[in-house]
Chain A
Amino acid sequence: MTGGAVTGRAARLLATAIGIAAASGASRPTGARAAAGKPALAIVGATVLTAGPQGTVAGGTIVIRDGKVAALGKGVAVPPGAVVINAAGRTVMPGIIDCHSHTAVESGINEGSDSVTAEVRIADVIDHRDVDIYRQLAGGVTTINVLHGSANVIGGQNAVIKLRWGSSPRDLVFQGAPRGIKMALGENPKRANARATGAPRYPGTRMGVEATLRGAFQEAQQYRREWQDYEKKLAAAGGGGKDKPVAPRRDLRLETLRDVLDGKVLVHAHAYRADEILMLIQVAEEVGFKVRTFQHVLEGYKVASEIARHGAGASTFSDWWAYKIEAQDAIPYNAAVMAARGVLVSLNSDSDELARRLYWEAAKVIRYGGVSEADALKMITLNPARQLGIDKRVGSLEVGKDADLVIFNAHPFSPDARVETTLIDGIVYFDRAADLAKRMPAGAPVATGGMR
């Protein structure tokens, strides 16, 4: 057991919360549990890595009310009646945000039958019972960007979800997060590594990928004009009568691409090579959209200035590469170089497993690239929040933001780091002590030493 961190009353509260929220795959989805009206929660005595303007607060107190951070700082008064978590000796950081995930998806992450499938939505196929949600909570992750796969040049729409384990699919969704879409360049969309049989799918080359992009957005521009014409005619007809024009067919594929052109949908583009990164920037600027993030972007260090100039972010790995030809020319300094050139950088997992230890991925960037501790922390918190357009709500510990936070036994970049408690909206969704207690058969001898 972790021992002594949690006061008696708080332990009971946690146990109750976990009994509902974080039990197992058998737990019933009960919807987002409103924290409203509940007593305030105070986490006291911790070293707080805020990733915000307050920087690191030693011996800080965090007061949580109605799911939000109500007060934060050294010497902040604990409100009367608050449930207190004694976190002395612990480190608290904002909930980790994974900008590239395929967790919690049912029956396929790729609608790979066509090279443009902007109409499909990850939100339609969320699997709220995926146990990886819980496992990632145990790794301090609280928000993930669930993306369509990379089989298509333009894949489906993403879903940004909070890992409110035990909630229904709808209640997992991060309400208010901007829409996003997956694009993919290079080997995957040209099916270079696919075992597909039968007729090959266009495109089969990088040239074809570029042409597919242009073609799709030309269609979207045409679609936009069609609707604009209709609206003009409708206004001219005075809204009724025999001459009332018939609205064009809603084409959910082109409508989504039109929304990309209108800046309403964030583009997350899977890319490896420098040349294709430049290609997408060129096409985007030509047809009129912005790339929000390049994903993987292992050769980003070669074109970091160009990425920064376009205004795109980069979401990369710390040191995962060489799994295919286009992923060969990678260096562990990638994140650091891009950040130094002014690119907004995040570190992602793209893996149910890696997602559970993203705090160590951040630590590697310090080791390799000499990134500051504060900046490394932001690469798994505030930066991905900004990339997803949710930084007003999450990504740092600041008064008024969502109380999504993680209590570690040690500094998260330490090799000894282990998540003790994970909260989302001020509700405990993972607690290591409670989890271990549930796994132990009654009366089983429990080792008391060496668990720290």
Chain B
Amino acid sequence: MQREEIDMSTPLDPEGSTRQTDARWRRERKPGLAATVAMCTAAATIAGGIVFEPVPARAAKADVFALVGGRVVTVSGNTIESGVIILRDGVIEAIGAKVTVPVDARVIDAKGLTLTPGLIDAFGGLGLPAPRRAGSATAAGGVGDTNPTGVPATPAPPTSPLSPHAMALDKIRIAEALKARDVGVTTALVVGRDGVLPGKSVLINLAGKKPEDMVLRQPAAQHLHLTTISRQYPSSLMGTVAYARQSLYSAIRYRDEWAAYERAPAGKKRPRFDPALAAWQDVLSGKEMLIVTATRENDIRRALALADELKIRVAVAGAARAFRVADLVKARKLPLLVSVSFDPPRAVTSAAGRDEEKEKREIEEAEKNPAALDKAGVVFALGSGFAPSFMAGIRKAIDAGLPRGAALRALTLEAARALGVSDRTGSLEVGKLANVVAWAGDPLEKKSKVKMVFVDGQLYEPPDRPDRLDGDDKDDEEKPAPTEDDVDVYDDADRGGRP
């Protein structure tokens, strides 16, 4: 047993974190707060018979935590009504009802709290700059670019809508991304929002000081949004499908051309490097998934047809109408990243304008989609889908009938499975990443609060702001602009009275 004297006047530094966190840390130590943090040596707590003076932990290492006495919802296995989780060096070292707390652990009294795996936002734009507003397509991020709150938004750098080689990682703003921890998100798939081929996503863990620190998988996947581009090819859905198909065939030729050159370069003309075609190679080889953003029911069929034709792995994101093809999704074991952005901005697609009744119906249908999928026995992940508030979307899905347990699964283990990282995260299991959320109240329950979030074993405590937890934070209100800011001028040729 180590016994070291420490100066009690030294501010405790639980995670080597910011001054602000320190202040909260001290505040939370006041009696009466739910998450009272018991600072003492481990030995004092459990070494039966021998009573030591409770000595504040100098011995406790910054990256070793013992969460003691909480209700542990492992998601992958049984729930432990009163359990212990040991976090060390960013991974879960031990978990169970009876676990010996190591001497160097900082013990956190989790009585009354529920511990779950960190939430995963399986598909969204966490930390990415605000989208450009409608009408600014020509002057990208030009003067007068504001978000709906009237506050000038930082202009997004102009990107080609066809950039399979673009990296979401390059655009992440870390301070923005870290805000998601307030609602218990520890991990997120960050996907470029704009264009048809937005490039490659990155899977991040919400800890670190630089985007590079956060990377769980980079690049995570290639993406295809089944949308269109105004006044540019592809300007129709069939054009988008054709473009994706052609891209893959071109990538095949590119692969073969380079392979032939590498095999026998002598006497051959050096092939040209093409970043866009190079970007598809891991999809072709099967190493990388192509995640197809599907807003329509048949987009799911389109994604599968592309997968079948080109022998690639696909997942489907968005998938607001997936419940209509639940059997197909199940039969094909299609990974689904279901969006909780139920009222995305819409492009005006016909000269006749909008059908508001239809839009309303579609929103209601989308809200019921996760519940319907669950009822049909389809496994899926949930993602924010570029919604202004992830948690508000999750709550809507729960209000529309998705059981909270199913929602939690979709936000943890199923998300990890869909993204191919369930061997390292998504549940509370020994050896997995130390991504843990401590809830006061039932997880995802409306009145519950996220008291503590561990990401990679680092403690973060959200500020005590109920409005944030309800997802009503206006700071996050960033309604993106429609992708097509005007009526498709081509669409009424050859129909509607003028053949």
Question: B238: which of A120, A150, A317 is its contact (CB, 8 Å)?
Answer: A120
Stretch at the interface among B257-265, B312-320, B409-417, B468-476: B257-265
**Neighbouring B residues of A156 by C-beta, 8 Å:** 238, 242
Binds A, one of B207-215, B336-344, B434-442, B483-491: B483-491
Near A by CB (< 8 A), chain B positions 456-499 give 486, 488-491, 493-495, 497-499
Q: A107-B228, A120-B242, A247-B256 are in contact. Are A125 and B489 (CB under 8 A)?
A: no
A48-73 contact mask (Cβ, 8 Å, vs B): 1 or 0: 00000000000000000000000000
Chain A CB count within 10 A is highest, among B236, B263, B297, for B236
Name B236's contact: one of A111, A168, A242, A247 (CB within 8 Å). A111
Asked if A257 lies at the interface with its beta carbon under 8 angstroms from chain B, I say no
Chain B 209-249 interface residues, beta-carbon cutoff 8 Å to A = 228-229, 231-239, 241-242, 245-246, 249
Closest to A117 in B: B239
| CB closest chain-B residue, reference A119 | B242
Known interface pairs A124-B302, A323-B499; A252-B246 also in contact (CB < 8 Å): yes
A222 to B228, CA, bound (A): 31
B263 CB contacts on chain A under 8 angstroms: 242
Instruction: Report how many residues on chain B are interfacial, defined by Cβ distance under 8 Å.
Output: 43
Which residue from chain B places its CB closest to the CB of A170 in the assembled complex? B301
Q: Which of B241, B242, B301, B489 has the most C-beta atoms of chain A within 10 angstroms of its own C-beta?
A: B242
Cα A28 to Cα B326 with chains together (Å): 11
**A150 with B490: in contact, given A107-B349, A113-B231 (CB under 8 Å)?**
no
Asked if A440 lies at the interface with its beta carbon under 8 angstroms from chain B, I say: no
Interface string of A245-285 (1 = CB under 8 A from B): 01111111100000000000000001000000000000000
Interface residues on A, range: 35 or more
Contact A249 B238 (CB under 8 A): no
What is the CA–CA distance of A81 and B386 in the complex, to the nearest angstrom? Answer: 60
**Does B253 lie within 8 Å of A107, measured CB to CB?**
no
Contact yes or no, A113 B232, CB < 8 A: yes
Residues of B close to A196: CB separation below 8 A: 231, 489-490
Residue of B nearest to A129 (CB): B297
The CA-CA distance from A163 to B239 in the complex, in Å, is 24
The yes or no answer to A300 lying at the interface (CB within 8 A) is no
- List residues of chain A with CB within 8 A of the CB of B241: 120-121, 124-125
Q: A111, B242: Cβ atoms under 8 Å?
A: yes
Asked if residues A108 and B235 are in contact (CB atoms below 8 Å), the reply is yes
Tell me which residues across on chain A come within 8 A of B228, comparing CB atoms: 107-108
Q: Taking A127-B298, A323-B499 as contacts, is the C-beta distance between A270 and B494 under 8 angstroms?
A: yes
**B-chain residues with CB within 8 Å of residue A270 when the two chains form the complex:** 494, 499
A150-186 toward B: CB 8 Å interface, digit per residue (1/0)?
1100001000000000001110000000000000100
- Is A120 a contact of B253 with CB atoms below 8 Å? no
Closest to A122 in B: B238
Question: Is A246 touching B298 in the complex (CB atoms < 8 A)?
Answer: no
| B271 to A, closest residue via Cβ | A246
Which residues does chain B contribute within 8 Å of A107, judged by CB atoms? 228, 236-238, 296, 349
- Identify the closest chain B residue to A112 (Cβ): B490
**Pick the contact of B298 from A106, A242, A248, A296 — CB < 8 Å?**
A106
Interface membership of B160, Cβ < 8 A: no
Complex CA distance for A162 and B253, rounded to whole angstroms: 36
From A34-42, A187-195, A206-214, give the one contacting chain B.
Answer: A187-195
| A109:B491 contact, CB within 8 angstroms | yes
0/1 interface trace, chain A 336-357, chain B, CB 8 Å (1 if under) = 0000000000000011000000
B245 and A194 within 8 A (CB): no
Asked if A197 is an interface residue, CB under 8 A from chain B, the answer is yes
CB proximity of B354 to chain A, nearest CB, Å:
15
| A148→B495 CA distance, assembly (Å) | 11
Task: Convert A353-377 into 0s and 1s, putting 1 for each residue whose CB lies closer than 8 angstroms to a CB of B.
Answer: 0000000000000000000000000
Could you list 18 A-B pairs, sorted by A, with CB under 8 Å?
A108-B488, A110-B491, A111-B235, A112-B493, A113-B490, A149-B491, A149-B495, A151-B493, A151-B494, A188-B493, A193-B493, A194-B489, A197-B486, A198-B231, A242-B264, A246-B256, A250-B249, A270-B499
Question: Could you list which residues of chain B lie within 8 angstroms of chain A, going by C-beta atoms?
Answer: 228-229, 231-239, 241-242, 245-246, 249-250, 252-253, 256-257, 260, 263-264, 296-298, 301-302, 305, 324, 349, 486, 488-491, 493-495, 497-499
- List 4 A-B pairs, minimum CB-CB distance, nearest first: A112-B490, A108-B236, A107-B237, A111-B239
